[in-house]
Structure 1
Amino acid sequence: MNRVLLVRSSAIGDVVFASPFAAAIKRTWPQAYVAWLVEPGIHELLAADPCIDELILWPKGEWKQLWQARRFAALFQRIRAFRALLRAKRFDVAIDMQSLLKSGLLTWLSGAPRRIGLGSREGSQWLMTECVPKGGIPGRIGAEYRALAERLGLEAGEFLPRLCIGEATEARVQALMTVHGLRPSRFAVFAPFTTRAQKHWFEDAWQALAAKVRDELGLTPVILGGPADREAAARLAAATAGTIALAGDTRLPEAAGLIRHAGLLVGVDTGLTHMGAAFATPTVALFGSTRPYLDTGRANGRVIWLGLACSPCRRRPTCNGAFTCLREITAERVIEQARAVLGVANRS
């Protein structure tokens, strides 16, 4: 593998899971040139990784707008230009880690003579020269990506999420912490938000947890999220004195930097929660309708999943909005697990 293209354009959590792949390539072939094709915005998570030589941004938003406006000629021109850009880089191998038709098309556009698909579906398998079924240790974080690395003969190592923080990002994080009076390891990050209601813990539960984290653990609760989560974060913060709402006030790299400095991370099945394993931050993950993993790979990481008969239901809830799989997770149980992870020395 001399010139390698990795295709995992979204979503944040899956990019975090796949993040050790470039390092595995470099350990095996130090002289390899590794490029990663990713959507704008998410690319910021990978920008500081020295094992990635180039980030190629897929202008998905622009293509989508042209399609919706029925400007098909302009869209075709953009696709041709993107194909020319990819093929000019003369990749030897392109690896589709996303498995979908859209990622398969991007992999095919690269013109790489060897195109490897991980569990390819939706027709993307016909665009690959070889397909590797998804595998790995059941329930372990990033298992399918680690299994792919091993299948390709890479030195996978521990294969835990890998995120790097650049100097400029660290400076912004330090400034943000100073403004809000936050000290390293003396605050707890909450990651309550996702795009799917069935993955959310309940507001009253977060409020109860915030008070316990403040009073029993002596940590300042800090709520992270995106711009769309500002109102909900402000509502949560207003319910518990001393809680700081930063949802929408950080970009992904700064959010990652805060998680690196946090004394505790508690979150639902969302990209921010999965970052805890990258920094060995004591983490408690709350899963209900989904169960991406049960083994965080870290001694100071815990997953709470009740294992109800209806769970995981993923995108097809059968509870008519009761979301019992999360409702029955109590703040007391989370605090119990938080105490457990805080008692484990596992910082890298």
Structure 2
Amino acid sequence: MPEIESSPKRILIIRLSAIGDVIMASGLIPALRKAYPNAHIAWLTESPNADLLRHNPRLDRVYLWPRSRWRTLRQERHYREFAREAYDLIHALRAERFDWVLDLQGLLKSGVWAWLSGGRRRIGLGSREGSQFLMTEIIDRSVDDFRIGKEYRKLAETLTGQINTFALDTAVSEDDRKKGRELLESAGVTGEYAVICPFTTRPQKHWFDDRWIDLAQRLTYRHRLPVVLLGGPGDRSRAEPIVHGVRHGLFDLTGRTTLGQCAALIEKARLLIGVDTGLTHLGIALGVPTLAIFGSTRPYLDTGRATARVLYEPLECSPCRRRPTCGGTFDCMRLHTVDQVFDAASELLEGRS
């Protein structure tokens, strides 16, 4: 366990990906800011996550690793340009002379960046893949806690010696709010609306299309709420069956927003329903009434918000994470009926948790 310093002057947080983990790790920002109000706090992340961090007034600087761009430069043999950009980023980090560098990812790719930053104390969270040899201290990421962001919460408490200062912390820009309003107007959405976020990178975390269709129709007809479908550009084909199955009241904005605009749309929603995906965690971070449907994964059970609930029905094999044993039937997600999800959503809409 690292020794607590009274006032580290410069702190770098490293969480490169993914969207959901960046959101859950954001609780470190207010915790560190409260404990060390005069510290310069920066964050290094991959470029696609920029919108989650760069508008946060409690962060002093956000550094972006353009990983995809650098891969393209190498593939196209633009080695000089790649080397110049890499040098500039490394030089910028080292010039900060960070007292603490916090590697929240604990992988080799993040550990290398922690080492390249030149930080005096490099504190790794569950470091592995060889990154443990690049740290000066390591904190075990395992913790018996059902609260959202549990491992990052543990790190915050260890580093600050304070409890109850960890709270998810994302900020939305006025430009993104303006663009979000324009997108809603162009889609014909006026007044209150619900958001659904059905898409993830792993099929075992998905709920079923026919159930999303039924749920969307019930929200529209019983609660008079138009439903906005959100997802990234890679989710467009997955959205098609849901879009075609809903007769009225569904507005598909899948792949039509930046991450910041997506956050703006979520921020103003009356309700969000989603699976274990970054946009669901974003709803909780923004204080939106949120219903999370979990099955093969269970990142948390306690959302920390009276307005957010988790639906989770464990089986003997739950949570299987990346190793499902059900042969593709995904029984844990099948336990979530439309009636159950709709009733829970109705309770949130009525202010009952």
Q: What CA distance in whole angstroms lies between the structure 2 residues aligned with 1:341 and 1:137?
A: 28
1:190 counterpart (187, 191, 196): 196
* CA deviation after TM superposition for structure 1 residue 201, in Å: 0.8
Find out whether 1:238 has 2:226 as its counterpart. no
Is the contact between residue 99 and residue 121 of structure 2 (CA under 8 Å) also seen in structure 1?
Answer: yes
Find out whether 1:62 has 2:69 as its counterpart. yes
Q: What CA distance in whole angstroms lies between the structure 1 residues aligned with 2:27 and 2:262?
A: 19
Find out whether 1:24 has 2:43 as its counterpart. no
Is the contact between residue 66 and residue 72 of structure 1 (CA under 8 Å) also seen in structure 2?
Answer: yes
TM-score (norm 1): 0.93
Match of 2:183 in 1: 176
Is the contact between residue 194 and residue 270 of structure 2 (CA under 8 Å) also seen in structure 1?
Answer: yes
Match of 1:288 in 2: 295
Letter in 2 for 1:252: L
Match of 1:266 in 2: 273
Q: Which has the higher mean CA deviation after the structures are superposed, 191-200 or 8-17? A: 191-200
Partner secondary structure for residue 224 of structure 2: coil
Is the contact between residue 12 and residue 42 of structure 1 (CA under 8 Å) also seen in structure 2?
Answer: yes
Map 1:96-135; keep pairs closer than 5 Å: 96-135=103-142
Letter in 1 for 2:41: V
Q: What CA distance in whole angstroms lies between the structure 2 residues aligned with 1:302 and 1:66?
A: 44
* CA deviation after TM superposition for structure 1 residue 105, in Å: 0.7
Partner secondary structure for residue 14 of structure 1: helix
Q: What CA distance in whole angstroms lies between the structure 1 residues aligned with 2:221 and 2:239?
A: 20
* CA deviation after TM superposition for structure 1 residue 292, in Å: 0.5
User: 1:277-297: CA deviations, max 9, x gaps?
Assistant: 112211111111111111111
Find out whether 1:39 has 2:46 as its counterpart. yes
Q: Which has the higher mean CA deviation after the structures are superposed, 70-79 or 165-174? A: 70-79
User: 1:132-179: CA deviations, max 9, x gaps?
Assistant: 112555211011111101101165535232111111111112222222
Q: What CA distance in whole angstroms lies between the structure 1 residues aligned with 2:326 and 2:132?
A: 35
* CA deviation after TM superposition for structure 1 residue 63, in Å: 3.7
Is the contact between residue 93 and residue 114 of structure 1 (CA under 8 Å) also seen in structure 2?
Answer: yes
Match of 2:58 in 1: 51
User: 1:30-57: CA deviations, max 9, x gaps?
Assistant: 2111110011121111111001111111
Find out whether 1:89 has 2:115 as its counterpart. no
Letter in 1 for 2:323: R
Q: What CA distance in whole angstroms lies between the structure 1 residues aligned with 2:285 and 2:165?
A: 11
* CA deviation after TM superposition for structure 1 residue 78, in Å: 5.4
Letter in 1 for 2:196: F
User: 1:11-32: CA deviations, max 9, x gaps?
Assistant: 0000000112122222122211
* CA deviation after TM superposition for structure 1 residue 343, in Å: 2.7
Task: Classify 1:188/1:64 alpha carbon distance in 2 versus 1 (closer, same or farther; 3 Å).
Answer: same
User: 1:40-83: CA deviations, max 9, x gaps?
Assistant: 12111111100111111112123434566788888666544432
Match of 1:317 in 2: 324
1:199 counterpart (198, 202, 205): 205
Match of 2:156 in 1: 149
Is the contact between residue 24 and residue 154 of structure 1 (CA under 8 Å) also seen in structure 2?
Answer: no
Structure 2 residue runs without a partner (length 5+): 1-7
TM-score (norm 2): 0.91
Structure 1 residue runs without a partner (length 5+): none
Q: What CA distance in whole angstroms lies between the structure 1 residues aligned with 2:154 and 2:38?
A: 23
Is the contact between residue 87 and residue 111 of structure 1 (CA under 8 Å) also seen in structure 2?
Answer: yes
Partner secondary structure for residue 47 of structure 2: coil
Q: What CA distance in whole angstroms lies between the structure 2 residues aligned with 1:322 and 1:68?
A: 40
Q: What CA distance in whole angstroms lies between the structure 1 residues aligned with 2:165 and 2:92?
A: 34
Sequence identity of aligned pairs in percent?
A: 46
Q: What CA distance in whole angstroms lies between the structure 2 residues aligned with 1:308 and 1:285?
A: 17
